[in-house]
Amino acid sequence: MLTKTDLQKIKQSIKEVALTKDDAKSFVRRDDLRSFVTKDDLKPIKLDIAKIRKDTGTITDFFDKEYLDFRQRVERIEKHLNLSPLQ
């Protein structure tokens, strides 16, 4: 079990390592980030995201139709065999 002195030492070491907001601002500037990532770099990513969304919609539509067809077949079989549907 940790004692109070152990906790104080841990807190002190965390304070020594932790960055303040000013330290973080001086470490990375917005201008540096803007020069690092440009709109041209993001364009292929945006196109990929749009394609993924379209593909997801296509897949969802396909499986939704498959489910509805499957559901109709099961209901028909249940009716033919005089089975009660499961809830």
- Whether 2 is covered by a domain: the verdict is no
Q: Distance of CA 75 to CAs 31, 56, 67, 80, Å? A: 63, 28, 12, 9
Q: Report pTM.
A: 0.44
Domain count, the chain: 1
User: pLDDT tens-digit profile of 22-73?
Assistant: 666 666 666 666 667 777 888 999 999 999 999 999 999 999 999 999 999 9
- Whether 5 is covered by a domain: the verdict is no
- Whether 72 is covered by a domain: the verdict is yes
Q: Looking at residue 23, what is its pLDDT?
A: 64
CA dist 30 and 49 (Å) reads 25
- Whether 84 is covered by a domain: the verdict is yes
- Whether 53 is covered by a domain: the verdict is yes
Average pLDDT over residues 5-24: 72
- Whether 34 is covered by a domain: the verdict is no
- Whether 33 is covered by a domain: the verdict is no
- Whether 81 is covered by a domain: the verdict is yes
Provide the domain limits for residue 80. Answer: 39-87
